[in-house]
Amino acid sequence: MSVESGYLKADQSLFFWDKTRYPYIRWQKDQNLKSALEYSVHWYFAKLWNDIGPEKGKPLLEKIGTFQVPFTRNSFWLDGSYTISPSEFADFLIRLQETSPPFRKKTIQTVFDLFKRIPGTLSNASGSHDLAGDWNGVEDYRSDSAFYYTQDETDSWFWVSFQKTNVRWFLLTRVRVLGQPTSPLEAATLASQILREESIVP
């Protein structure tokens, strides 16, 4: 959204850390869009939303047509005002690949390139992690993950897109557990298991 609006450029996206202490060491440094996406740096995206504001951000999100749009500045998604279901998110990622996507193709390519990872890996706030399986022969690999928790539940998300033997694969997983803590890697572990069970990744 920030790239589409022109507020950010991939090579001009540096925000300075304000010395606030966070639970992850990787959050406690200056960030650009690439590092913020790689390590899920919440304060970076909260600042983006606060700077753009719901007045300008809402019309851009409404172009997507599926999300519940947040209306407040400071809370960002933490107050539950920003919600999306797995099916909505999968549909959104697929629409980005269509001939008439909701955003400019240049914007989409710029942001998607920032999700490029070493095949068979994912990055989150705690660092880089390897997925099970033999990822030899996999090309054009992109992945991302998300995790949040409350007293009542934990949610782990993971998506991966890659090409193998001239076939483009896309998989989105979400693991929601009520009443007990789980690992932030639960959804990624499930995705790896599915890919191996389907013999897509040995």
pLDDT at residue 79, rounded to an integer: 52
Residue 47 or residue 77, greater confidence: 47
Identify which has the larger pLDDT, 111 or 73: 111
Sheet holding 153-164, edge to edge: 139-149, 153-164, 167-178
pLDDT tens across 124-135, in order?
999 999 999 999
Q: Where are the alpha helices (DSSP H) in the chain?
A: 33-38, 42-62, 86-95, 105-113, 186-197
- For residue 12, the tally of other CB atoms under 10 A from its CB is 8
The reported pTM is 0.83
pLDDT tens-digit profile of 49-99?
788 776 666 666 666 665 555 555 555 555 555 567 888 888 888 888 887
Residue 16 or 11, more confident: 16
Provide mean pLDDT across the span 114-131.
Answer: 94
Q: How far apart are the first and last CA of the chain?
A: 37
Tokens representing 65 are: 């047509």
Joined tokens for residue 67? 């999300």
**Which of 3, 102, 93 has the alpha carbon at shortest distance from 62?**
102
Mean pLDDT of 165-181: 90
Assess contact for 126 and 103: CB atoms under 8 A.
no
Whole-number average pLDDT of the chain: 85
For the cut 80, the answer to whether the pLDDT of residue 170 exceeds it is yes
Residue 147 reports pLDDT greater than 90: no
